Amino acid sequence: MQPDNDKIDDVVLALLALNIHDETEQGARSWKGYDWEALNRLHQKGWISNPVTKAKSVILTPEGLARSRELFKQLFTKET
């Protein structure tokens, strides 16, 4: 079975929305307790800051923050 890394990245980015704190117009911080390879791919795509730091969180770029919330809504919410 071959994993679809783009789908994995979408889910990790969506889950980062659950732990957002310190939001500003430049983006928001989120705890980075996820797969390192997925976090590195999200960084390469421009959605988050470099995850390879001593900080326990990453910064979602403004585009990453918007995409994270969009994906969370799409993947994990119910229609009302």
Confidence of residue 78 (pLDDT cuts 50, 70, 90): confident
Secondary structure of residue 31 in the 3-state scheme: strand
Which pTM was predicted?
0.83
Residue 19, token pair as written in the block: 């732990």
Residue type at 9 in one-letter notation: D
Q: Which helix (H) or strand (E) holds 76?
A: helix 62-76
Domain 5-76 belongs to what architecture? Orthogonal Bundle (1.10)
Return the domain boundaries, the chain: 5-76
> What is the number of alpha carbons within 13 Å of residue 50 lying toward its C-beta?
3
- List pLDDT tens digits, range 4-63: 999 999 999 999 999 999 999 999 999 989 999 999 999 999 999 999 999 999 999 999
